[in-house]
Structure 1
């Protein structure tokens, strides 16, 4: 082993150790590894930043924008609502959820596909009397499987295409992944529909979503407006309007707290904290002509006639809203979103609405434009609870994102333009046609992922240029001595599956793909099946909640424990291995 190879192993080994440790963010680790590789001389100065102009970064960034445009269109929500009344059995509901998420994940970001369908899962859970945990884990696994079907379905497929381009001069095309990917998706969905009972029915320990759905009482803040018929009337008179369905928990007058005694007389500009059910609160506010404190008109930047709506949402455990107040966040001024009400189980809130420090599991009523609310909910880790229809104004805006996506995929499938050009143009079209507001474009792009990819490309290339991949391939060849071709392919697939829970899946491919290709060459096999095996293994982490963000997303709402994932994930992983190896050998012959 040469000095350069030893240094390459040292840099990549240290990088993987820091990834597994998880103390620092993965983009910071990747950039640090790049600088270390440059410092020790295994990455030349003039190639240190080649990754930032690499096709991988362009494709992933553009695909994220296109994915966000399709997800925001609302057309999926509208289509799903047609099926809801006709589906009653748990298995039929699960079939609709898993199949929809799986198919969507082939064309848009899998976590986006999952997020679209989570509110529907809660509706089904409430209707069928089961816990959402029955649906959420199979949906998360379906989203991972669905991403295997197309080149843009998941970042490992994009990365492995680039590796093949470098090694053979020919990249995988958009739909080269379909024969094996669709087979795995079909088998995986069928398995999930019959094995879902392996998932325990749990309630959330951190964010009680099921309980949140049943919440009936909210705390809201209202002001006695000038001209209100209750001015000069007693507080008990106001409460009677709600027919016993609401109470006044606090009164603030000229900045001072006044005891909410039944006989106090109300004055103009009194601020009232009301607690009760939505219907009772609505009666009091409308009949007493009160003004909800947070109910303000949208800013002038909003288009005239923009539709305003209010949604219920649960604050997730990782939300940036946790520990913050609406006043401190300046929700209205900074995000054009009003906080209208808060509900917290088992606790009566007596602070002014804007001063309440929000907690994970709080149910909030937020008001904003139909265009902006979905992005706000996603960016701030809030999960919508109530059934809602979010369309971007017109049918043209609802269908246009699908047309843009179809044009991009069709043009690449026909070989008219390269994938980076097609998807960059599609992302630009999303902006030009105002499918995505300009200020949301950069929110749609996962910056840390792009930086990590750009930094890792030269680092992973150093393993190949120093001959390190050949050394590892030789070691693997010794291990694989005597194994049949299927055994060698299974070895690579298992290695990728074992590594990806601890690394980002794209990082797994960048490290493993060159090794797999060298391994195949050393055994006298063509590399395509081995590269595909790496992509499949990197995209199929069913064993942990930390290996993929889809698994992490459902952990809190589903109330899952770490040990719950292998209960369904281990048999699914075995099924994937048993099906994918012969499918790969059939579609991509080894010789």
Structure 2
């Protein structure tokens, strides 16, 4: 029921809701799934969406298809596919152009048959190893790799959520869907052109961040925020900070000294260090080793920082563990550098809430984020997508802990995120689903859901990881925004926007209006999730096509391509966010390569769309 007392037209109310929603998306204070759910509930209260239809979006074929593709993608990750790819890609040699061709070309192919974020996740550790072995800055490889995953998603129905959404929307308005390879003629040409541009020209537009890798050392993507403790036997005990710097012959920035839970800024601390003091500083792996070897400092263990919260949540299982705080025993332990994935359980949670040491056998040594200085204690930091962490754990057991946490190893490709098995079987299951879709034996949602179910039943992917693979925030976003997008159409809002565009473009060729739609959709996808951009722009595209009395298909294809081309910002797509930390990029770095690549995509895709999908239908 609508809130009484409001006399505004439904279309006006829709514009208000969408305006507030887009503002909240761009603000970034609240996660996009919460914003989308608020938009849905607000639309229900305003009478724009019937209350009994509010949650029908979660049963929409597009939502089911996306969930199934995510499960199948995770199955590919565990099947051993990454090791086969890595072994081949790592043979390309030292030439940067060949490395880019192998990496970006591979991710383009993979992104066509699996979720593009999953494809990027497979190749990110491979790219880091290439950078380390050939002493190359990873910033030259990772942004092209992320953009390549977006380009590859254009090539098939399941490559990216906007394609699935557009196909489902076409069936709603014309009783016909786009098939698995309907997107391929345009997508392949755009992807190959984009690949050629990135490999031959575009990589020169990416920043080359300092700090090159060597084969012997882990790659130092950025300085970490580190906590080191002074012990009774530490050489640093009894020294001032200046004396410590003189002893090390290094200018290591100490941000603060914590003593008895009292924190004092490093520049203002002039006393002598005592046992129990904690130094908060910025350092990389090399500096960490120097501080441990020369000053006798050691990293603070989680159980020293999370006891207070752990005791308040539940009684300790072993009192002796909480009574004593021994230094970390490094014998048999391995350091690994990892990046937090977009689907990680760590996001928005602190190390105390996760209890990494107790539940996962991992010790957090350091954190780096976007090349910026973090001012919190390690125990207070809430992790974000793209954070680079330095973790310590038992050799041979780290990989088993990283998989459920949702982290990707960067410093070592010797770590597998799963047990390589049943590769051929998983590929056969996927191929059977594709055949069923091509022969119109089953709808895409049913065929892919069946393939995901069979993969779980035969053990290609454990059930627990199958549920973990489903990106909850994306599913919530899709299910919430589908009714809101429909409200834009049913309220007449989409028609109003189309009429305005038709009025201003009345004397223009249709192709110019399509170009304007392309640019508008592309810009929108850089500030909101690409699925949300497709959901909002699809009704406008259909209204424009009806207004010009031409075929719907070219207008829908314009939205499908443009909504997947979020090359200008790190927040427009999860692939961009995932490489932000490991590449050492800043927010303003993306448009330097992203803008010319967007222009290339626009110039190539428009004539291809009109050729494959003519206006006359």
Q: Would you call these one fold, judging by a TM-score over 0.5?
A: yes
Asked if the contact 1:315/1:364 (under 8 Å) is kept, the reply is no
Change (3 A) 1:580 1:177: same
Residue matched to 1:200: 207
- 1:114 aligned to 120, 124, 146, which one? 120
SS at match of 1:558: coil
Asked if the contact 1:134/1:201 (under 8 Å) is kept, the reply is yes
Change (3 A) 1:322 1:494: closer
SS at match of 1:312: strand
Distance across 1 between alignment mates of 2:580 and 2:487 = 37
Change (3 A) 1:39 1:197: same
CA RMSD of aligned residues (A): 3.5
Change (3 A) 1:85 1:53: closer
Residue matched to 1:372: 400
Residue matched to 2:390: 363
Number of residues of Structure 1 aligned to a counterpart in Structure 2: 501
Change (3 A) 1:511 1:343: closer
- 2:61 aligned to 50, 55, 63, which one? 55
Residue matched to 2:220: 211
Change (3 A) 1:3 1:136: same
Change (3 A) 1:62 1:489: same
1:429 pairs with 2:454: yes
The CA deviation at 1:198 is: 1.2
The CA deviation at 1:187 is: 0.4
The CA deviation at 1:12 is: 2.1
> Which sits farther off after the overlay, 33-42 or 59-68?
33-42
The CA deviation at 1:474 is: 0.7
Change (3 A) 1:578 1:560: same
The CA deviation at 1:183 is: 0.7
Q: How does 1:273-422 map to 2 (within 5 A)?
A: 292=332, 312-314=336-338, 320=346, 329-331=354-356, 334=359, 337-339=360-362, 342=365, 362-367=389-394, 372-376=400-404, 379=406, 381-388=407-414, 390=416, 393=419, 395=421, 397-422=422-447
SS at match of 1:9: helix
Asked if the contact 1:150/1:177 (under 8 Å) is kept, the reply is yes
1:492 pairs with 2:517: yes
Distance across 2 between alignment mates of 1:323 and 1:64 = 23
1:533 pairs with 2:539: no
Asked if the contact 1:203/1:210 (under 8 Å) is kept, the reply is no
Residue matched to 2:232: none
SS at match of 1:544: coil
Distance across 1 between alignment mates of 2:57 and 2:67 = 13
Change (3 A) 1:394 1:575: closer
Distance across 2 between alignment mates of 1:554 and 1:391 = 18
The CA deviation at 1:577 is: 0.4
TM-score normalised by length of structure 1? 0.77
SS at match of 2:362: strand
Asked if the contact 1:477/1:522 (under 8 Å) is kept, the reply is yes
SS at match of 2:580: helix
Change (3 A) 1:311 1:111: farther
Residue matched to 1:451: 476
Asked if the contact 2:142/2:579 (under 8 Å) is kept, the reply is yes
Q: How does 1:78-117 map to 2 (within 5 A)?
A: 78-117=84-123
Residue matched to 2:152: 146
Structure 1: gaps spanning 5 or more residues:
221-244, 252-256, 258-268, 276-284, 286-291, 296-309, 346-354
Distance across 2 between alignment mates of 1:342 and 1:439 = 28
Q: Residue deviations 1:453-477, cap 9 Å, x none?
A: 1111111111212222212111110
Change (3 A) 1:357 1:2: closer
- 1:545 aligned to 570, 592, 597, which one? 570
Change (3 A) 1:510 1:384: same
Distance across 1 between alignment mates of 2:390 and 2:71 = 29
TM-score normalised by length of structure 2? 0.74
The CA deviation at 1:342 is: 4.8
Asked if the contact 2:32/2:473 (under 8 Å) is kept, the reply is yes
Change (3 A) 1:273 1:464: closer
The CA deviation at 1:146 is: 0.5
SS at match of 2:219: helix
1:124 pairs with 2:130: yes
SS at match of 1:210: coil
The CA deviation at 1:123 is: 1.9
- 2:466 aligned to 436, 441, 446, which one? 441
SS at match of 2:579: helix
1:31 pairs with 2:58: no
The CA deviation at 1:369 is: 5.3
Q: How does 1:245-260 map to 2 (within 5 A)?
A: 249=296
The CA deviation at 1:341 is: 9.0
The CA deviation at 1:411 is: 1.3
1:13 pairs with 2:36: no
SS at match of 1:390: coil
- Runs (4 or more) in structure 1 with deviation over 6 Å come to 212-215, 245-248, 269-272, 355-360
Change (3 A) 1:403 1:323: closer
Change (3 A) 1:512 1:357: closer
Asked if the contact 1:27/1:451 (under 8 Å) is kept, the reply is yes
The CA deviation at 1:314 is: 3.4
Distance across 2 between alignment mates of 1:151 and 1:464 = 24
Distance across 2 between alignment mates of 1:154 and 1:317 = 18
Asked if the contact 2:339/2:410 (under 8 Å) is kept, the reply is no
Change (3 A) 1:128 1:427: same
Q: Residue deviations 1:331-352, cap 9 Å, x none?
A: 4653xx433795899xxxxxxx
Asked if the contact 1:133/1:199 (under 8 Å) is kept, the reply is yes
SS at match of 2:220: helix
1:42 pairs with 2:48: yes
Q: Residue deviations 1:37-64, cap 9 Å, x none?
A: 2222221222222112111111111111
